Structure formats: structure tokens, C-alpha cells
Amino acid sequence: RHDRAAAGLGGMVWPWFLFVWAAGSLCLLGLESARLVRLVRRVRAAAPADPAIVARVAALSARLGLKPVPVVEVAGSSSPVVWCVGRPILLWPAELPVDSSANGIDACVDGLLVHELAHVKRGDHLIGWIELAAGVVWWWNPLFWFVRSALREQAELACDAWVISAL
């Protein structure tokens, strides 16, 4: 009799666990979708990049053994970032100076560019999509969030190492 009662209770609990998991997955998917839609709008509204940046990206891409990555200027962004739905695109902040007459600005800009190109070379944009899918499934697991954070931190450190070795 005790086993039947426990089995009955277990039969009632699993549908609730499944419901909570599905609801959490849908919420996370909705939040990420909203973020992606906002970014797609910003990318569509982007302007062609300064030819000087495009030329520098082409030269640095060749140095890293990459095909040149397209570059567009995005308003309201504070740092360069790689965007990838299909082919990777470098989003360059419209407010970031490119003027090479300022002392040391060339080296800083090249460092930023190599860092972002290293993300492309390493395939971090593809890992991001896998990470998104994993988050929809494993959102409830604290270990997932810890590993995700560590993965992102290590990717940034690896790209910083590329900058040091390339420049």
C-alpha cells in the first residue's frame, strides 16, 4: 500500500516538474529572442563602416589567416562585437574614434580588431549558438550558468592572448 501511494505521488509530481521546466525554457527563449530582435534591428540600421577601418580589418584578417570580415558602424554601442547570423560581421561603434593622428590610437584600435577577429577565427560565434540552445534546456541547473560564465571568460582570455601574439 505504501509503494502505491508513493508511486501515485511521483506520478503527480513529474507533470509539474515538466511544466515548470517547459515554462522556464519558454521564458528564456522569449528573453533571448527579444534580445536578438533588438540586435537585428540595430544591424539593419547600421551604416557602412569607415573605409580606414575596413582596410585595417582586411589587413589584420589576412594576418590571422581569415577572409576579410565585413564591418558596419552601429550607433549606441560602446565596444566592437562580432555578430553572426550566417556570416560573421564586425559591428564597429559609430562613436569610437578611428583617427590615427591621436597618439597610440592605432595600436588600441588594432588590438580591439584583432581581439574580435580572434573570436571569429576560434569559432566563438558558433559556440554562442550552442550555448543558447543549451541554456534553453539547462536553464534550471546552476552548474550550467557556472560553466557558461567560465567558458565566456576563457574565450575572452584566449582572444586577448591572440592580440598579444599577433601584435
pLDDT in tens, 79-88: 899 999 889 9
Specify the range with the lowest mean pLDDT, choosing from 5-9, 40-44, 116-120.
5-9
Q: How far is CA 32 from CA 48, 53, 55, 63, 149, in A?
A: 27, 30, 33, 34, 16
Residue 7 pLDDT: 59
Q: Do the Cβ atoms of 82 and 89 come closer than 8 Å?
A: yes
Backbone φ and ψ for 71, nearest 5 degrees, come out as -125, 135
Q: Say if strands 81-85 and 71-74 run parallel, antiparallel, or are unpaired.
A: unpaired
Q: Do the Cβ atoms of 95 and 75 come closer than 8 Å?
A: yes
| C-alpha cell of residue 40 | 537585428
Mean pLDDT of the chain: 89
| C-alpha cell of residue 167 | 601584435
29 pLDDT above the threshold of 70: yes
Residue 100 pLDDT: 57
156 pLDDT above the threshold of 70: yes
Residue 123 pLDDT: 95
59 pLDDT above the threshold of 90: yes
Question: How large is the average pLDDT for residues 31-57?
Answer: 93
86-141, pLDDT tens digit by residue?
899 999 998 887 765 555 667 888 999 999 999 999 999 999 999 999 999 999 99
Which position has the higher pLDDT, 102 or 53?
A: 53
**What is the crossing angle of helices 105-122 and 124-138, to 10°?**
60
Residue 104 pLDDT: 60
